[in-house]
Structure 1
Amino acid sequence: MHWPFEAFIGLRYLRAKRRNGFISFISLISIVGIALGVAALIIVLSVMNGFQKEIRGRILSVASHLEVSTYDGRLDHWRQVAQVGSAQPHVLAGAPFVNGQGLFSAYGNVRGGLVRGIEPALEDKVVDVGRHMVAGKLESLRPGEFGMALGAELARQLNVGLGDKVMLFVPQGTITPAGMLPRSKQFTVVGIFKVDMFEFDASLAMVNLRDAQVLSRMGDSVSGVRFKLDDPMLAPTVKQALRAKLPQNLVTDWTDTNSNYFRAVQIEKRMMTIILTLIVAVAAFNLVSTLVMVVTDKQADIAILRTLGASPASIMKIFMIQGSVAGVLGTLSGVASGVLIALNLDVIVPLIERVIGSKILSSEVYMIDYLPSDVQWSDVSTITLISLALALFATLYPSWRAARTQPAEALRYE
């Protein structure tokens, strides 16, 4: 195989020699810097993608994809709404619900939280809470028996388990001779669920729909109807279609109720991408100083090549090849190490936690207590192209400077 002489000379310049070992060391540092920047960018984006995916999955295990309600919190014709919603494309199931705030009291412990009235058979088709039951079953919430399913953290705070009694106080008051008193009802704990999201595990309780209607004095009305889609990402599209069908109702989707969180994650992801890309850029532009030193060191060689007939374009290609190969080596090394680490974070992070003796993440602050990772190959390819482009761009000035070398000037003092 015959290599073009530009490639042969450019690759030869990459090899360290005794008199230019320092230049080769600087070149090695540039390659390592590019590799570290690319690896860090891949790992950080994979963790943020995994975090977003994990939180979204956990939110949707309790929150529905789509909700239809009213501005006053009382939906009378909910069966008609459920029928209209279920007839929409991509809608798999619907379920009515009653939402309300409540105060839970047991064994001297008092906690506030959200009370949700559900139809267990229908609810299980809309969200995945049934699969997260750690004790009891969702089907145990039978009408008239006033059973209650608690989040695991809420149950721990109240110090209750299956079969224990919990007194529930709701804001709807009862007028008595002594004045307005909050309404209360004793419930029996028939289930405990754990969705691994502190917000829900510590504040959500579910009761039968009919019991919630009785307690809230809503008759046959509900707070709204929840729907599940075959693709959660289509929720905004289906929402617009439902708004046209139900103009008098309030239609929201999961992106509305959690918009601030996901917007914050998206902004954070973009900022981290910009910051880490700048790190890659700094490492890539270290190639500029490396190639400038190489060009200065090789002045005599460049002059000889010119006198032998090499064109300025050929000289420029020599140094562009040298710098580009360094950029490619750094990029490929960074991609390989970054993907390898990102795919094995579930092993690496627990090992680090055992070494330092503490948890890196707290579920009370970050909603989850481990670092999830979701390597998206579109991100990897984008990072690779950006790194290669920066490395190639960094070679242009030194290569152009080398091409402008005048043989007579370069050989005057040789």
Structure 2
Amino acid sequence: MFRPFFLFIGTRYTNFKRRDHFITFISIVSMLGIALGITVLITVLSVMNGFTKEIRARILSVTPHVMINEGWGEPLKDWQGLAKQVSGHPDVEAVGPYVDGQGMLTRGREVRGVVIKGVDPDAIDAVFPLHSTLKAGKVEDLQPGKFGVVLGSYLAKTLGVNIGDMVTLVIPEINVSMMGAAPRLKRLPVVGIFEVGYVYDSGFAFMHIQDAAKIFKTQDGVTGIQLRLKDPFAAPRIAKELHEKLHGFYNVIDWTVLNSAYFSAVKMEKTMMFFTLIMILAIAVFNLISTLVMVVTDKRADIGVLRALGASARKIMAIFICQGAIIGLIGTILGVVMGVALSLNVTDLVATIERAFRVKFLSADVYFISFLPSDLQYADVLLIAASAMVLSLLATIHPAWRAANVQPAEALRHDA
């Protein structure tokens, strides 16, 4: 089979069965360095993707995909008509009302700010799956007139309450009576505890929508409607479409806007981590430069003979670029295979290590997640592989340039 001149010689120089064991050794080290860098990069990014995916799923378990209101705490006029209007959108699956407001929950000396959200227990799963997040109690226990409340796990832990305990809700509104001015207070029984992670566990509570309407005095109305979409990741586009459809008369907020600070921070962290690990991969590629420089030094006589036989400087450069590219390609393929295999099994591997050594690497109190998630995205794998190959090719330029500038007479005289 015909092979170009530079490819024929470049592949021969990469043959690991050559007698020069030292150059063979450092060539293998170069490959393994690139492979290890790629493995670490793929695994770390997959774990970061896994954390983002897990937190996103937990956020969506207590957050509607889109909310429509007239302003924080303002009653929404003719919400039934508005709900009927937006439910006609082809991407909207379910619509439900809600009442929200702010206050403080107290028990003993503990005081915590909280966002109270009134929901309809009979229809809540149509909008977001609150049931799946409960670690104690039932959503059905939110009975109208009983003023029961479902608290986030961290909030309940901070207040020191459990199912059946009472907390006091302080509303930032002054009541004036014969006894003077005082804030509005309401005693609430705890009927459930949910656990999501992120900020929701520490600052959110759910009530029956009728009870919340009475507490926040919305005249038996609602403060907004919440939507579930067929595709939650299309929420920004659909929110924009609904805003235009409603002619800007209402606030239309999607779940990505509500959590924009978190996702922006995660995106920045992932970007910085990628470039940091790329620098580590670049350090591994320096071994490739050392390997090729030593090969050029070892093959000065061969280069001199090739130049004397008429090989151009460009062809000499191509020989060593080809050799470096082969080393980089093998290292990249090996790294991708190891990285993909490790990313797909890292959750089970870490769990096995934890069981074997009876240790816990991730505490749910700190990280919101008690296991190491992983979400392998093949777009990341392609980007990492392409970056590794580009770095490998760049690493070949200087050694190849040195080889092309070897003078044949000087090389042969020195060999003689």
Q: TM-score, normalised by structure 2?
A: 0.89
Q: Is the 8 A contact 1:94 1:122 kept in 2?
A: no
The Cα shift of 1:314 comes to 4.2
Q: Deviations over 1:210-241 (max 9, x none)?
A: 01111122112222111111112211111112
Q: Is the 8 A contact 1:151 1:203 kept in 2?
A: yes
The Cα shift of 1:295 comes to 0.9
Q: Deviations over 1:255-290 (max 9, x none)?
A: 211111111111121122222222222322432232
Partner residue, 1:239? 239
Structure 2 counterpart of 1:328, one-letter code = L
Partner residue, 1:29? 29
Q: Is the 8 A contact 2:70 2:76 kept in 1?
A: no
Partner residue, 2:55? 55
Instruction: Tell me the SS of whatever aligns to 1:121.
Output: coil
Distance in 1, matches of 2:191 and 2:260, equals 33
Q: Is the 8 A contact 1:76 1:220 kept in 2?
A: no
Matches within 5 A, 1:221-236: 221-236=221-236
Partner residue, 1:317? 318
Partner residue, 2:173? 172
Partner residue, 1:296? 297
Q: Deviations over 1:348-391 (max 9, x none)?
A: 33455568876444444444343321110111011111211221
Partner residue, 1:65? 65
Distance 1:18 1:8, change over 3 A: closer
The Cα shift of 1:136 comes to 2.8
Distance 1:309 1:84, change over 3 A: same
The Cα shift of 1:310 comes to 4.6
The Cα shift of 1:8 comes to 4.5
Q: Is the 8 A contact 1:74 1:221 kept in 2?
A: no
Sequence identity (%): 47
The Cα shift of 1:96 comes to 1.4
The Cα shift of 1:189 comes to 2.9
Distance in 2, matches of 1:21 and 1:183, equals 84
Distance in 2, matches of 1:360 and 1:179, equals 55
Partner residue, 2:266? 265
Distance 1:194 1:17, change over 3 A: closer
Instruction: Tell me the SS of whatever aligns to 1:323.
Output: helix
Distance in 1, matches of 2:114 and 2:358, equals 33
Distance in 2, matches of 1:407 and 1:84, equals 83
Structure 1 counterpart of 2:225, one-letter code = V
Partner residue, 1:326? 327
Distance in 2, matches of 1:65 and 1:97, equals 13
Distance in 1, matches of 2:345 and 2:36, equals 17
Distance in 2, matches of 1:275 and 1:202, equals 33
Distance in 2, matches of 1:317 and 1:339, equals 32
The Cα shift of 1:336 comes to 1.6
Structure 2 counterpart of 1:207, one-letter code = M
Q: TM-score, normalised by structure 1?
A: 0.90
Q: Is the 8 A contact 1:68 1:252 kept in 2?
A: yes
Instruction: Tell me the SS of whatever aligns to 1:317.
Output: helix
Structure 2 counterpart of 1:238, one-letter code = I
Distance in 1, matches of 2:23 and 2:301, equals 17
Q: Deviations over 1:70-115 (max 9, x none)?
A: 2352133222222222222311111211112233345775544222
Note if 1:206 corresponds to 2:213.
no
Unaligned runs of 5+ in 1: none
Q: Is the 8 A contact 1:148 1:188 kept in 2?
A: yes
Distance in 1, matches of 2:198 and 2:233, equals 24
Matches within 5 A, 1:14-413: 14-15=14-15, 20-71=20-71, 73-77=73-77, 78-106=79-107, 110-195=111-196, 197-246=197-246, 247-308=248-309, 310-351=311-352, 359-413=360-414
The Cα shift of 1:400 comes to 3.6
The Cα shift of 1:408 comes to 2.0
The Cα shift of 1:123 comes to 1.9
RMSD (Å), alpha carbons: 2.6
The Cα shift of 1:311 comes to 4.8
Quick check: 283-292 or 6-15, which moved more?
A: 6-15
Structure 2 counterpart of 1:50, one-letter code = G
Instruction: Tell me the SS of whatever aligns to 1:344.
Output: helix
Equivalent residue pairs, number: 413
